[in-house]
Amino acid sequence: SQTIHQWPATLVQPVGSPLSLECTVEGTSNPNLYWYRQAAGRGLQLLFYSVGIGQISSEVPQNLSASRPQDRQFILSSKKLLLSDSGFYLCAWSASLAEDTQYFGPGTRLTVL
Amino acid sequence: DQQVKQNSPSLSVQEGRISILNCDYTNSMFDYFLWYKKYPAEGPTFLISISSIKDKNEDGRFTVFLNKSAKHLSLHIVPSQPGDSAVYFCAASAYGDDKIIFGKGTRLHILP
């Protein structure tokens, strides 16, 4: 069966510090991968998605970036965090275009102080 | 421009009664619709989906109804149970699109 992992589970970082959140998927090959952010009262906002290694699509202009160095690894990064980057970050995967259901990881709670 | 709208931020329902969560969409290209349930500090979990070729899909206590002409779908939970208290997200996608568009969610409170 497929499993999706995210770490860390919680993170408190000062403004201006870098960020690296990692997501890995097990039990599937060539998944589509997604990064979302849930901010209070704003639902789930799609940040990035990837249909293959090295292929990243950005949905929202911001100071975040994403990379996919391996087939089942998706990384969310920032060089300098802003206060507004605080939120709950979720990674998700889906099998292919033919199956649109996405499955989510446990999330990372990021607080920028 | 919000393509998937959940106009009720919250809903309270008595335990044992029916919970009805509503969702409207604007993009006529959407052909696949999903509902997710989310507890605080956890990732959303997939609940039920429906393809545009159907108008109803049922899975246990959960039924999703789709009205394509009205661009409206609803999730019915019956009977409602305390564990159903959570935020419910409606989502939609178009054929061939990698992305799912989510609504802002509705917080469901099941009252004892």
Please choose, from the candidates B6, B14, B4, B29, the residue with its C-alpha nearest in 3D space to the C-alpha of residue B95.
B29
The contacts of residue B108 (CB under 8 Å, 6+ apart) are B10, B11, B12, B13, B19, B21, B77, B80, B84, B85, B86, B87, B88
| pLDDT at site B17 | 97
Instruction: Say if A49 is an interface residue toward chain B (CB within 8 Å).
Output: yes
Residue of B3, B99, B101, B107 for testing the chain A interface, max A β-carbons within 10 Å: B99
| pLDDT at site B97 | 77
Span B10-30, average pLDDT = 96
C-alpha distance from B70 to closest chain A C-alpha (Å): 23
In terms of CA atoms, which chain B residue is nearest residue A90? B43
pLDDT digits (tens, 9 = 90+) for A35-59: 999 876 667 888 999 999 999 998 8
In terms of CA atoms, which chain A residue is nearest residue B46? A103
| pLDDT at site B70 | 97
In the structure encoding, which two tokens stand for residue A80, read together? Answer: 């300098």
Residue A97 pLDDT grade (very low, low, confident, very high; cuts 50, 70, 90):
low
Between the alpha carbon of residue B73 and those of residues A3, A7, B65, B106, the distances in Å are: 30, 35, 5, 14
pLDDT digits (tens, 9 = 90+) for B52-101: 999 999 999 999 999 999 999 999 999 999 999 999 999 998 877 778 88
Backbone angles phi, psi at A51, to 5 degrees: -100, 0
3-state secondary structure of A20: strand
The C-alpha atoms of residue B53 and residue B78 are separated, in whole angstroms, by 24
In the stretch 85-104 of chain B, residues with CB closer than 8 A to chain A read: 89, 93, 96-104
State what percent of residues in chain B have pLDDT above 70. Answer: 99
pLDDT at A96 over 70: no
